[in-house]
Structure 1
């Protein structure tokens, strides 16, 4: 009987990178690969350059906003430094503040650019909901989908209740939302169900504002009640593939002539 091949041992860490302390941390940082599996650089500065390039493609005004923040910080710090008699000291303090302000502007603009890239695509509402850090359990897959139009409904559960978010035109996705709302209400009659639609139309919530809209819903349940709600919703199940009307899948039989090639 042939022996099973033993897997090769994991590669050993470079010397001097397994200890503790600041020197070991610096060695570990230097030992990290500079390029990832996709060939892109993994350093923080390189990643910031990529974020800036992506944001500038979608919003060319980002550089002027960042420059304006830097100029505004120095415009306040330098005169104040001359007034108090310490212009160099205030200038040194203003430098990291200016960089921090520019990074905050870049982060806000990059987030808006990312939402703009996925706007109008199937599943964009789910991607926006999954950006919520904590407090809400968002489904990875939609709980309802129209196979013809690709309209979908995503579900989130939090202490504020159940939130259903439709992804699609309001005149089409409204039926999916109402059907899913009725299904949740039958199982959880005493739990509030919030129905939202993601989009740029009337009575819809833009993708960039959708996470904040959900997070601002008022909590009405305890943690124990939330666990019970999650348990009941898991019993409902997720999306099921549609079966053509008039066909019983338990009694369906293959076409013998088609199998034989006739």
Structure 2
């Protein structure tokens, strides 16, 4: 029997990533081709203009500056697409079950510990509660109807306050209502929380809360989000 290949999966190349990024972003912003074309034209025009303004004016210097402007436009286009793809992603996942967990597990960085799995969930209504722990303390995020989230949020807050006395506990609700945080601003809102604990305390809090947390892996977790479908791959 032939041995199975153990070669690592080949990652898509740079141009394949650019194509994926473009396709993903254009689905939300149909005017993307015109924007990119405008960037190239403006970059080239700016380069030609500089060529005429800097003496001595010569054909080859104008051409050189024009090419430089074109290259600047080409380099700037992926940056614009990356920014727009992030906006497109948030628009697609807004209101979907699991969106908060997806954002918290991918956008908070290393200074926060969070998971895409909820720490509390209502299997019937798909309301869910997520938790992040960082230098800003404990953050509890509710996703769903606030009325039905009350018990889940209070249980998780009580647990955090019981095992991490003196550590600030912040409760956020994802949504577009009053005192709610849009999904696109969830990660920035958490990151802006003032630092209240040091690294050692943060590690101790994580250990204490994990030790008393009840596993919810056996519950039917909302599966409204497929990160492979909503998150465009960024060029490296």
Q: TM-score, with normalisation over the residues of structure 1?
A: 0.72
Separation (CA, whole Å) in 1 of partners of 2:122 and 2:110: 29
Q: Is 2:59 aligned against 1:89?
A: no
Alignment match, 2:227: none
Alignment match, 2:28: 58
Q: 1:200 aligns with which of 176, 181, 188?
A: 176
C-alpha distance 163-73 of structure 1, shift in aligned 2 (>3 A): same
Q: Is 2:117 aligned against 1:117?
A: no
Partner SS state of residue 194, structure 1 = strand
C-alpha distance 213-12 of structure 1, shift in aligned 2 (>3 A): closer
Aligned pairs (5 A) from 1:73-222 = 73-84=43-54, 85=57, 86-132=61-107, 133-222=109-198
Alignment match, 2:231: none
Cα deviation for residue 178 of structure 1 reads 2.6
Unaligned runs of 5+ in 1: 14-31, 37-41, 243-262
Q: Is 2:207 aligned against 1:231?
A: yes
Indicate the structure (1 or 2) with the bigger Cα radius of gyration.
1
Unaligned runs of 5+ in 2: 220-236
Separation (CA, whole Å) in 1 of partners of 2:182 and 2:6: 47
Separation (CA, whole Å) in 1 of partners of 2:99 and 2:185: 13
CA RMSD in angstroms comes to 2.6
55-64 or 98-107, which deviates more: 55-64
**Bigger relative contact order (CA 8 A; separation at least 6):** 2
Is the contact made by 2:98 and 2:116 (CA closer than 8 Å) also made in structure 1?
Answer: no
Partner SS state of residue 79, structure 1 = helix
Q: How big is each residue's C-alpha offset from its partner over 1:90-142, in whole Å with a ceiling of 9 and x where there is no partner?
A: 22222232112211111111112122222222111000111223211102410
C-alpha distance 66-210 of structure 1, shift in aligned 2 (>3 A): farther
174-183 or 156-165, which deviates more: 174-183
Q: TM-score, with normalisation over the residues of structure 2?
A: 0.79
Cα deviation for residue 173 of structure 1 reads 2.3
Cα deviation for residue 149 of structure 1 reads 0.8
Q: How big is each residue's C-alpha offset from its partner over 1:193-219, in whole Å with a ceiling of 9 and x where there is no partner?
A: 111111233322222221122112222
C-alpha distance 150-11 of structure 1, shift in aligned 2 (>3 A): closer
